[in-house]
Amino acid sequence: MTTTLVVSNRGQVTLPAAMRKRLGIKGGDVVILEDRGSEIVLKPGVVIELDIYDDEQIAQWDADDRLEDDERKRIVAAVTTP
């Protein structure tokens, strides 16, 4: 679908309602603008909430994931033996 849009004095464009509906873009949604040299691509975006973990939590995960030498050898042997 090709559509001609007019850029406002503030640099804004309005996406046609049918295109927004087809792409699932609603007011307040995030879009990604990609510069491809002589063209631009506008794609729906996604915002994912990230958790910030402190050093103590990360250290606990490392401790929980630590393998004993015997267990490490058993696993290495299992995945390297034909």
What's the one-letter identity of residue 15? Answer: L
Query: Which pTM does this prediction carry?
Result: 0.52
Closest by CA to 19, choosing from 40, 42, 48, 38, is: 42
Taking Cα atoms as reference points, which of 35, 12, 17 lies closest to residue 27?
Answer: 17
Q: For residue 1, what pLDDT band results from cuts at 50, 70 and 90?
A: confident
Between 43 and 81, where is the model more confident? Answer: 43
For residue 82, pLDDT over 80 is answered with no
Tokens representing residue 82 in the block? 């034909």
